[in-house]
Amino acid sequence: MAKTIAIVEDDPDQRSNYVDAITRKGYEVIAYSSRSEALEGFDHGLPDLAILDIILGDEVDAGFELCRDLLSRSPTMPVIFLTERIAEIDKISGLRLGAWDYLPKPISLDYLSEKISSLLRINEARIQSSAGSNTAKIVGDMSIDQEALLVSWKEQPINLSGTEFRMLAKLVRVPGHAVSYDTLMNATMQSLVTNNTINTHMRNIRKKFETIDPDFNSIKSEYGFGYRWSVK
């Protein structure tokens, strides 16, 4: 059965281009032009992946609100922001909400299609891993499965975004060794990434571990260089 992709885009030409390109890849595509229209559609059924513009009509943060709504209904759904808002604060806001990626316009339609396929494969691997497959690596009290993008700490699952997971995986590849900002930037697989962006991601990752373990302190800052995973 074909996966369903939701696109929320108020520009009719861009919306039509996205729908045509993604449909040609074999996906079922449902397109919406406004936040209210999308919410009504989501009440009837959720997609497997959502692509959201942020500014929709007169609503400058409509995409952010939609992301909150979608992830409250389906916390593991891959969400992509596709937008002309490329300020770092906007990107950080989107990723903090739980988006798997934040892509700037204009974008290659081939690249967008491949990004969708990649995220769906990752999500499918997460589902299969949760069902019993085990390819996890144990690092102290942490279990990390790089195929399924699953992390647990002291046997409690931690819900990381795709970007957060890739950064963590890079950090624990060689525990105890410092990982540079440049290496962590490359791990995000995104553009427009700065040291401040990395610091924000690391704070978010720490908070998610601390929710389970208030004494968590395995992520150490290496001033001016990057971060390391502490080995006790």
The answer to whether the beta carbons of residues 183 and 174 sit under 8 Å apart is: no
User: Which residues in 150-188 are b (16+ Cβ under 10 Å) and which e?
Assistant: bbbbeeeebebbbbbbbbbbbbbbeeeeebebebbbebb
For residue 38, how many other CB atoms are within 10 A of its CB? 26
Structure confidence at residue 131 (pLDDT): 54
pLDDT given for residue 66 in this prediction: 97
Residues of the chain where predicted confidence (pLDDT) is lower than 70: 126-135, 191, 232
Q: How far apart are CA 184 and CA 195, in angstroms?
A: 9
Choosing among 3.20.20.70, 3.40.50.2300, 3.90.1300.10, 3.40.50.20, the CATH entry for 4-126 is 3.40.50.2300
Task: State the pLDDT at residue 129.
Answer: 60
Q: Taking Cα atoms as reference points, which of 69, 65, 99 lies closest to residue 82? A: 99
pLDDT digit string, tens, across residues 31-51: 999 999 999 999 999 999 999
Q: What is the CATH number of domain 135-229?
A: 1.10.10.10
pLDDT, tens digit, 9 for 90 and up, residues 6-38? 999 999 999 999 999 999 999 999 999 999 999
Amino acid 159: pLDDT: 82
Complete edge-to-edge strand list for the sheet that includes strand 4-8: 28-32, 4-8, 49-52, 79-83, 101-104
Q: What pLDDT does 91 receive?
A: 85
Instruction: Report residue 171 as tokens.
Output: 């950090």
What's the pLDDT at 92? 82
Q: What is the per-residue pLDDT for 20?
A: 97
What is each CA distance from 80 to 152, 156, 183, in whole angstroms? 24, 26, 23
Residue type, 208: K
Q: Where are the domains of the chain?
A: 4-126, 135-229
Structure tokens at 97: 């909400």
Q: What is the pTM of this model?
A: 0.69
The residue among 43, 63, 66 whose CA lies nearest residue 55 is 63
Q: Identify the pLDDT of residue 130.
A: 59
pLDDT of residue 137: 82
Cα dist from 20 to 27, 31, 109, 113, 194, whole Å: 10, 11, 10, 11, 34
